[in-house]
Each structure stands twice: as C-alpha cells, then as structure tokens.
Amino acid sequence: MPLSEEEFADKDDNALFRSIKVKDWDKVRDLISKSTQQQENMTRTDNASSIANDAPLLRQLDVHENSALHAAIGYQAPDDIVLALINAYPEATAIHGANEWLPLHVAAMWGSSPSIMTALIQQHPEGLDDRGEGGIKGRTPRHFKDRFPHNKELLERSTAEWRAEAKST
C-alpha cells in the first residue's frame, strides 16, 4: 500500500514534492527533465550563483527531511521516474529521511521493483547495513527481505559483493 497524499503533504512542499504526492507523473517527469537541464547548464557555465540561495529542485528536502527520491519510492512512482531521480542526483541514495531511513529502506518496505532495488544498492551498497533510526525501531533494509520475494535475493547478497560489482562497472 503506497503512502497517501494526506499522510505527508505539506504547504511548504516544492512543485516536485507536490506533483509526486498527487501522482502527477507527467509533471514529475517534466520537472526532473527541467531540473537536470538546469544543472547541466550550470555545470557548463560554472555559474552557481544563477540559482539564488535555494538548492536546485532535486536536492531540496521536504519538512520530514525526505528527498524527492524517498517520496517517489514511497508514492510508488513508475520505475522510469525513480531511475531518473537516481541518475540525476545519485547522492540522494545516501540521504537519511524520516525515521533516519534511506531510500533503500523505503524501497524494501514498499516492495519496489528489482530494477529500482538494484539501482539503489549499486549506488549505495552500504545502505544494506544501515539501521536507520536507533533503538528498537532500528532496522536495516535486509529486515524486509521476506516481505517481497522478488527482492529477497537482492537484499540477501553481501554488501562486499555489491561493492565489488559497483567497482567493476
């Protein structure tokens, strides 16, 4: 069961988060494309001051400290959107959001597709062993391996094996 808009909607959400939370996938694709082009243009011109003091859209967090990647996974965005977010901002795979969860925790909990799980793990293999929030609530993504059989093998592979694979690509 995906998250509902009411659970995490906030008046301060940017356009990308609002579009994800209402599942306007065409708008999300458009915003990712525009943001990616903007980042590429900034890199080419090396003019970081062209975007005021705000972080580029893809790098902004919501009030719960979640990235757009967390939200897209939680709201069960189509795979092409999640993969586009990973490709556009790979560092998001290592961001701790609500409950100190990584996007990989969210993907394991909600049963994302094997292609999403693979992309997340390849980008941040250490996430497999991340406990998120401390104490009794602390669970690694591996904790959820039995929830969705299509991801069990991916979550059972060792972190060392994933690291070696990431280095070879």
Burial tier of 10 (Cβ tally within 10 Å: 0-12, 13-18, 19+): exposed
Read off the pLDDT of each residue in 136-163 and give the average, rounded to a whole number.
Answer: 92
Ordered by start, the domain boundaries in the chain are: 11-46+63-168
- DSSP of 3-57: --HHHH--TT--HHHHHHHTT-HHHHHHHHHHHHHHHHHHHHHT-GGGS-SSPPG
- CATH fold of the domain at 11-46+63-168: 1.25.40
The string of pLDDT tens digits covering residues 26-37 is 999 999 999 988
Q: If you ran DSSP here, which 8-state letter would residue 98 be given?
A: G
pTM of the model: 0.86
d(CA 59, CA 74): 17
